[in-house]
Amino acid sequence: MSRKEARELAFQGIYQMDILKEKARTIIDNLLSERPIKDIEYFQDVLLGVEGNLQIIDEKIKKYSKNWKLERLSKVDKAILRLATYEILFKEDIPDIVAINEGVELAKNYSNEDSPKFINGLLDQIRKEKEMGE
């Protein structure tokens, strides 16, 4: 499984965590029992990292989702944003532009036609804030 496939599975796991209100470890165990994952380290790191940093991640998303409360975002968009925001803020081995581009690609595949532009703009604001050291 490539990093791209592991990222897609991580997105699905983050989505399930939100929908099912389950802990990351439960979702990880369930998904691992369904299929083998080559990049298991990345997959586990992302789910546990999103869970452990959810408050920070959601605050960043809220800050830049103009006129949108987090609760009003679609669950799909929220999962994509949480994944990519985690990568931007906490994954030094992933270039920010890659995290943004992969988030946009997930939005193209799983969300509505307006989501890629929205997600791109929001994630770029988070990237810019990080670069400025805020």
* CA pair distance 50, 55, nearest whole angstrom: 9
Q: What is the pLDDT of residue 5?
A: 86
* CA pair distance 92, 73, nearest whole angstrom: 27
1 confidence band (pLDDT: 50, 70, 90): low
| Contact predicate 78/98, CB 8 Å | no
Query: How do the domains of the chain map onto residue ranges?
Result: 3-132
Considering only the top CATH level, what class is 3-132? mainly alpha
pLDDT in tens, 40-75: 899 999 999 999 999 999 999 999 987 777 778 999
| Contact predicate 39/6, CB 8 Å | yes
* CA pair distance 20, 77, nearest whole angstrom: 16
